[in-house]
Amino acid sequence: MKLIKLIKQALGAMLLMLVAHSSFAEGITFQENKTWKELLTMAKKEHKILFLDAYTTWCGPCKYLQRNVFTHGDVATYYNANFINAAIDMEKGEGPTIAENFGVTAYPTLFFIDGDGKLLHKSVGALEAPELIALGKEAVDPAKQYYTVKAKAAAGQLSASALAAWAAKAEQMEDKDVEKIITDYVNNPAHNWLSKDVLTLVFDYGGAIPDEKMAYLLKNKAQVKTLMQWTDEDFDAEFKRKATLLAFDKASKGETLDFDIYKSTLTKYIPKEAELETRKVKVKYAFINKKNENGVKEFISLVNDGTALNLKIYDVASIVIDNAEGIAPEEQSTALIDKIKAYKLIADDAGKEYYRNFALMVLYYYKEDKDTAKQYAEKIKADPDAPENLTNVADKVING
């Protein structure tokens, strides 16, 4: 009886192994024990694209794909029919070299590569089965392959609407080339700026606008507003953003910034705000360059003159949030706190006391005065107009 029991147990174990093997067989068939060169050779010989799952052993979304998506029947059917499939740990063997060559920055990254090693398409992060199939269909379509379309975009071969569609995806993928490609396109004299597609590229994806184009936008403000369905406030906000980009480009001198050039450029386009914006940049620039003492001094000066400059309390809070760690240890941080407490809000900031309280809460928190930080957190919580994102942070301060 004991022997029969052992035999049954052994048969049961074998059955489990067979079931597991069967389940694996129904998933994507990944090539094993193949070098990178051999994988490319296979892809070229079979006239297929190489699908590469670039993963690591510690990556949770990678494991989700491997267990729940690559094993899906429809996924396996499509990928086994259309691709040479490989899954490579980016931290072992040839993995680190492949990761460097293709600029892997997150896991999982899913690549589609031709037999010559040319990158055609890419996606970052885990996908569900229908999404992975849709991704595969994009990868085999030259009109949808990300890098094939990117090459056309860089060569100026796309329409403005097609370029905008590519740019939207490029931003999602954090493609560092998108701004230059769009800027080169819109600055081509052949492209009409008084069309919605081109203006969308200009404002949503492009970089700084040259002086002559800034003047052109101002001259045609009414038509731009109509095309983009903007109010005066919308136009002014977008125009200001472009003016600051142009000022920054002109004022940048290597690793330094010429504040006189910055201000003079802004004076040309947003004269009423040029002084304020330049002063704000001086504060931010000091902190960026780790000149915290100078940054605090500039910040105190800015708040001191803020009402006359029309400084919004939101901007005060933003500077504090971005630089609190550098502000807190400085000797004059207490003087800055006093200035923020005494700051008279401009008319547009009526009812926005929560921004002042948030700035003070953050500063006291970084100065390790948790009791006072909690007092300001309570004020934020008690303010019915305080935005949810501020009250959520206040909750965390209160609850330690």
Nearest to 124 by CA among 170, 188, 184: 170
Q: What is the pLDDT of residue 184?
A: 92
Q: What is the pLDDT of residue 248?
A: 96
Q: What is the pLDDT of residue 174?
A: 83
CA angle 177–181–182, rounded 5-degree value: 120
pTM: 0.75
36-144, superfamily in CATH?
Answer: Glutaredoxin (3.40.30.10)
pLDDT, average across residues 59-77: 96
Which tens digits make up the pLDDT trace of 342-359? Answer: 999 999 999 999 999 999
pLDDT tier for residue 14 given thresholds of 50, 70 and 90: very low
Q: What is the pLDDT of residue 189?
A: 87
Q: What is the pLDDT of residue 290?
A: 95
3-state secondary structure the chain: CHHHHHHHHHHHHHHHHHHHHHHHHCCCCECCCCCHHHHHHHHHHCCCEEEEEEECCCCHHHHHHHHHHCCCHHHHHHHHHHEEEEEEECCCCCHHHHHHHHCCCCCCEEEEECCCCCEEEEEECCCCHHHHHHHHHHHCCCCCCHHHHHHHHHCCCCCHHHHHHHHHHHHHCCCCCHHHHHHHHHCCCCCCCCCHHHHHHHHHCCCCCCHHHHHHHHHCHHHHHHHHCCCHHHHHHHHHHHHHHHHHHHHEECCEECHHHHHHHHHHHCCCCHHHHHHHHHHHHHHHCCCHHHHHHHHHHHHHCHHHHCCCHHHHHHHHHHHHHHHCCCCCHHHHHHHHHHCCCCHHHCCCHHHHHHHHHHHHHHCCCHHHHHHHHHHHHHCCCCCHHHHHHHHHHHCC
What share of the chain in percent tops pLDDT 70? 94
**How many Å from the N-terminal Cα to the C-terminal Cα in the chain?**
64
Which tens digits make up the pLDDT trace of 285-300? Answer: 999 999 999 999 999 9
Nearest to 282 by CA among 293, 269, 292, 295: 295
pLDDT of 1 strictly over 90: no
pLDDT of 148 strictly over 80: yes
Q: What is the pLDDT of residue 254?
A: 84
How many beta carbons lie within 10 A of that of residue 315, not counting itself? Answer: 18
Q: What is the pLDDT of residue 253?
A: 87
Q: What is the pLDDT of residue 11?
A: 40
pLDDT of 275 strictly over 60: yes
As a whole number, the mean pLDDT across the chain is: 92
pLDDT of 5 strictly over 90: no
Q: What is the pLDDT of residue 218?
A: 95
Q: What is the pLDDT of residue 343?
A: 96
Which tens digits make up the pLDDT trace of 187-210? Answer: 888 899 999 999 999 999 999 999
Domains 36-144 and 272-400 share a fold: no
How many beta carbons lie within 10 A of that of residue 322, not counting itself? Answer: 14
**Domain covering 272-400, topology:** 1.25.40
pLDDT of 16 strictly over 60: no
What are the domain boundaries of the chain?
A: 36-144, 272-400
Is 393 exposed, middle or buried, given 0-12, 13-18 or 19+ CB atoms closer than 10 A?
middle
Q: What is the pLDDT of residue 255?
A: 83
pLDDT, average across residues 232-251: 96
Pair 195, 227: CB distance under 8 Å: yes
Q: What is the pLDDT of residue 181?
A: 95
pLDDT of 10 strictly over 80: no
Which tens digits make up the pLDDT trace of 313-342? Answer: 999 999 999 999 999 999 999 999 999 999
Q: What is the pLDDT of residue 171?
A: 87
Q: What is the pLDDT of residue 276?
A: 97
pLDDT tier for residue 4 given thresholds of 50, 70 and 90: very low
Q: What is the pLDDT of residue 25?
A: 42
Which tens digits make up the pLDDT trace of 356-393? Answer: 999 999 999 999 999 999 999 999 999 999 999 999 99
Which tens digits make up the pLDDT trace of 78-129? Answer: 999 999 999 999 999 999 999 999 999 899 999 999 999 999 999 999 999 9
